[in-house]
C-alpha cells in the first residue's frame, strides 16, 4: 500500500518547532515576531485565509496585525501602508493577500514590500537569491513541498522530478528548490506536448496546475511519489460522481451541502504510487506552517539570532 504523506501531522510538528523558536528568540533578544496581514477588498475566500493565518500566528506566539482595506482603495494608499509597515520596528513579516482589485498593480505592490519582510518569498530580490541557492525567505507552498519530501525521506538526488505548472508562486520556485536538492527537473505546462508521456517518466510528480483531477493513472509510473499542490471545490454532482464514483460518500457529502475538494491528481492514481499527499490534508496545512516559520526567520535575521 502507498504511504500517505500526512501534511496535517507535519504542519503540527513544524508549528511546535516554530513556537519553541519564538520562545527562544524572546528569551535571548526580547523580540517577539510580528506578522502584518494586508487585505484589500471583500473576497470571502481571502478573508477566510487571512483569519486562518492570524489564528495560526496566535497559536505559536507570533503577534499579528490585520489591515483590511476597502475594495475601492487606490494603489497609492496601499503603497503608503506598505511603506509604513516596512519602516515599523514592530513588524517583521508582511503578507499581502492576493488577489488584489483591478485598480492596483499586483507586481508593483509586491515589489514594494521590503525583501527582509517578504514572508511570501515573492520579491525579486528573494527570488534572485533563490536562483543562487542562498535565499532566506522562500515561497511557502514550494517550501512545504520540499519539507514534506525530506521529512518522509523521499530521495531527491539524481531522481527525475516532473513539476506540472510554471507559476511564479509554486512551479518556478519549486523547480529551483528541487535542483538545489540535486534532482533532475522537468517543468511542464499547458503547452507541453505529449504531457502524459513526459510525466510518466518521473520518479516524483508535483501537480500544480489548478485543474481538478488533471493527472490520471496514465501519467503515473508504478511506484512514483505524488505531490498534489492543487485544490479545487467541485461545483456539480456530475463532477463529483465522475471523479469519485456515483455511489461514493463524496456524492452523499455533496448532496448534503458539504464542500467536496479534489486536487490536480485523480484519486485513482494513488494506488500506482509509493507515497502521495492527499487533498485535503496534504500540502495545504504546510503552506501556513511555512509562513509562520518564515516570519520567525525574518525576526531572527533582524535580531541577528
Cβ contact 141:229 at 8 Å: yes
Known catalytic membership, residue 97 = yes
Known catalytic membership, residue 118 = no
Catalytic residue among 8, 43, 80, 97: 97
Catalytic residue among 6, 42, 59, 120: 120
- Please state, in angstroms and rounded to a whole number, the distance separating the CA atoms of residues 296 and 303: 10
Q: Work out whether strand 93-96 and strand 63-69 pair parallel, antiparallel, or are unpaired.
A: unpaired
Catalytic residue among 53, 117, 172, 250: 53
- Please state, in angstroms and rounded to a whole number, the distance separating the CA atoms of residues 290 and 269: 27
Known catalytic membership, residue 120 = yes
CA distances from 245 to 236, 237, 238, 264 (A): 13, 10, 9, 17
- CB contact set of 258 (below 8 Å; sequence gap of 6+): none
Q: Work out whether strand 204-207 and strand 184-188 pair parallel, antiparallel, or are unpaired.
A: unpaired
Catalytic residues: 53, 97, 120
Amino acid at each position: 500500500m502507498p504511504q500517505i504523506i500526512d501534511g496535517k501531522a507535519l504542519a503540527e510538528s513544524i508549528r511546535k518547532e516554530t513556537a519553541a523558536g519564538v520562545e527562544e528568540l524572546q528569551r535571548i533578544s526580547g523580540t517577539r515576531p510580528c506578522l502584518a496581514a494586508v487585505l484589500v477588498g471583500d473576497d470571502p475566500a481571502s478573508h477566510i485565509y487571512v483569519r486562518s493565518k492570524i489564528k495560526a500566528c496566535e497559536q505559536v506566539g507570533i503577534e499579528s496585525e490585520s489591515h483590511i482595506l476597502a475594495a475601492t482603495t487606490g494603489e497609492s494608499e496601499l503603497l503608503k501602508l506598505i511603506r509604513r509597515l516596512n519602516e515599523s520596528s514592530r513588524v517583521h513579516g508582511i503578507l499581502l493577500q492576493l488577489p488584489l482589485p483591478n485598480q492596483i498593480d499586483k507586481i508593483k505592490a509586491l515589489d514594494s514590500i521590503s525583501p527582509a519582510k517578504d514572508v511570501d518569498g515573492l520579491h525579486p530580490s528573494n527570488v534572485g537569491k533563490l536562483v543562487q541557492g542562498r535565499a532566506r525567505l522562500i515561497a511557502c507552498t514550494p517550501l512545504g513541498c520540499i519539507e514534506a519530501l525530506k521529512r518522509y525521506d523521499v530521495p531527491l538526488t539524481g531522481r527525475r522530478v516532473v513539476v506540472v505548472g510554471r507559476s511564479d508562486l509554486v512551479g518556478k520556485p519549486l523547480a529551483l528548490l528541487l535542483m538545489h536538492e540535486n534532482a533532475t527537473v522537468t517543468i511542464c505546462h499547458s503547452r507541453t506536448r505529449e504531457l502524459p508521456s513526459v510525466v510518466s517518466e518521473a520518479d516524483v510528480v508535483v501537480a500544480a496546475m489548478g485543474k481538478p483531477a488533471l493527472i490520471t493513472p496514465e501519467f503515473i509510473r508504478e511506484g512514483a511519489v505524488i505531490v498534489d499542490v492543487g485544490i479545487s471545490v467541485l461545483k456539480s454532482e456530475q463532477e463529483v460522481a465522475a471523479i469519485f464514483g456515483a455511489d461514493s460518500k463524496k456524492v452523499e457529502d455533496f448532496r448534503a451541502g458539504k464542500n467536496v475538494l479534489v486536487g490536480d491528481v485523480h484519486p485513482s492514481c494513488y494506488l500506482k504510487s509509493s507515497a502521495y499527499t492527499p487533498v485535503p490534508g496534504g500540502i495545504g496545512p504546510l503552506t501556513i506552517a511555512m509562513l509562520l516559520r518564515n516570519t520567525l526567520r525574518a525576526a531572527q535575521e533582524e535580531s541577528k539570532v
